[in-house]
Amino acid sequence: MAATEIWGSMVEVLVVCTANMIRSPLAELYLRDKFADGAITVRSAGTHPAPGDGMTRRARDAAKSLGLSMTDAESHRPQLLTCEMVEQADLILGASRIHRSACVRMDLSALGRAFTIREFARLSALVDDDALQRAVDRAGEDPSARVRAATDLVREVRGTTDPPGDPTVDDVFDPELSRRRAHYARAVAEMIPALDAAVAYANRVREASLVR
């Protein structure tokens, strides 16, 4: 079964940061690369983008080191986060808690599908395989319904799991103010494993869909 038959063309992931110049475009490019079969659409936006600016030089360097499309990195232009983007997204991944909150303020219904990148990674790893299979089975044939059902399970884990003692562990460090190489390396080191965990969860949903 083709990936588009499992996911459909309407499944959309939205990644949000502040300026849409470093963290969210890097995450967008990385997830696009992982979902290169077109199974899932990924876009990014910023709560306070800088008009006309592209990704920072160090962000482009990071994209290159990760083997991502330099054409897309060079052509990226920051986009302003809008209510329509939030409403359309099946899953919202904020670089930090302030970005998750900004999305929820725009659309209260986003509360159950908005997470920080690292929070989603932490919680999705706790979702039981049997529970995921049952959720996908109940969702039926609609791909978006399957994604919502899988996301609901992550939300339920959030409601039954104690929050981390240090809430900042769910945030990706922002290197924008200093723009130091070491700070970019820290942001990448925090973000990439979390994105890999999100991709792993998507693959679990895909496998559960194949079992149906």
Q: Does residue 121 have a pLDDT over 60?
A: yes
- CATH number of 123's domain: 3.40.50.2300
Q: Is residue 10 over pLDDT 70?
A: no
- Of all residues in the chain, the percent with pLDDT exceeding 90 is 79
In the chain, the number of structural domains is 1
DSSP characters over 58-127: HHHHHHHHTT--HHHHHH----B--HHHHHH-SEEEESSHHHHHHHHHH-GGGGGTEEEHHHHHHHHTTS
Q: Which pLDDT score, from 0 to 100, does residue 211 have? A: 74
CB atoms within 10 A of CB 36: 10
The pTM of the full predicted model, rounded to 2 decimals, is 0.92
Residue 82: pLDDT over 80: yes
Q: Find the domain containing 165 and state its range.
A: 3-211
- Single out the residue of 64, 62, 95 nearest to residue 81, CA to CA: 95
